[in-house]
Amino acid sequence: MKNRLEKELQVTISDEDIWQAVEVINKEKQAIKAMFDLNRADPPPLSGMALLTAAWSRSFSSNKGEMIDNLNGLVREVANQAENRQVKATRVLLTGCPVGLGTEKVIRLTEELGACIVAMENCSGYKTLELQTDINNVDPIVALAEKYLAIPCSCMSPNPYRLKLLENMIEDFRADAVIDLTWQACHTYNIEAFEVGKLVKSKGLPYVHLESDYSNSDLESLKVRIEAILEMVEK
């Protein structure tokens, strides 16, 4: 791929260039993880919608350095303002398929019902944030390959890291319940829902697996199911 890019774009990509990019992306992931980790506090300082907005918006920034500075500034600001904390509420961990602005209906419905999405293990959330490219590797291409092959996506088989990550997040974010979201036709996540459900139930937590699409045609049925799982949380 590197050779093809060099040929098509008529550029030379040196190892030094790649390592510089690796350093930037590692810093970016550290900054985003620090923002997500703010919600380990009880009550959490950020709503699920606020987390989603901040995480999703970074994709539209062409200046990585400025974006990293903004994220670090947000973390410092939120951490220093106790008055910004949300009202104490049921803590929900969201896992499953990617969620973005425009497809946030499960997050919005959950928080309209009085709970708080304290963490998102989804592809667009926490899933890859602990994965850092190993800067001690001699070959940057090998280092990148090792990182990306370790991503706990449902398309990987076997995929034990996802279950381990979920287990850690349930503890770290003190989740009261877990919602597992699968977009229709994402069959790999549908299959993994069985193992995810077993893990969550072994922790004694309410669990619901939702299958939906990007439309709003099922809002009422989703609301009923989310409301039911929230009622199962021990007060």
Is pLDDT of 119 > 70? yes
pLDDT band at 106 (very low <50, low <70, confident <90, very high): very high
| Whether residue 123 has pLDDT greater than 90 | no
Structure confidence by residue, pLDDT tens digits, 132-141: 999 999 999 9
pLDDT at residue 82 in the model: 62
What does the pLDDT read at residue 209? Answer: 97
pLDDT at 84: 58
Which pair of structure tokens corresponds to residue 202? Answer: 């072994």
Query: Which one is predicted more confidently, 77 or 59?
Result: 77
Domains: count for the chain:
1
Ramachandran angles phi, psi of 218, nearest 5°: -110, 20
Q: What percent of the chain has pLDDT over 70?
A: 97
Percentage, residues of the chain above pLDDT 90: 82
pLDDT at 57: 84
Residue length, the chain? 235
Show the domain range for 57: 2-231
C-alpha separations of 143 from 31, 38, 150, 155, 178 in Å: 21, 29, 11, 21, 33
Question: In angstroms, rounded to a whole number, what is the distance separating the alpha carbons of residues 15 and 32?
Answer: 26
pLDDT at 80: 84
Q: What is the mean pLDDT of residues 199-211?
A: 97
Whether residue 46 is predicted with pLDDT greater than 70 in this model: the reply is: yes
Higher pLDDT, 94 or 55: 94
CATH number at residue 144: 3.40.50.11900
Is pLDDT at 100 greater than 80 in this prediction? yes
pLDDT at 88: 79
For position 102, what pLDDT does the model report? 85
**Stated pTM of the model:** 0.91
Does position 85 have pLDDT exceeding 70, yes or no? no
The two structure tokens encoding residue 204: 């004694």
Burial class (CB in 10 A: 0-12, 13-18, 19+), 200: buried
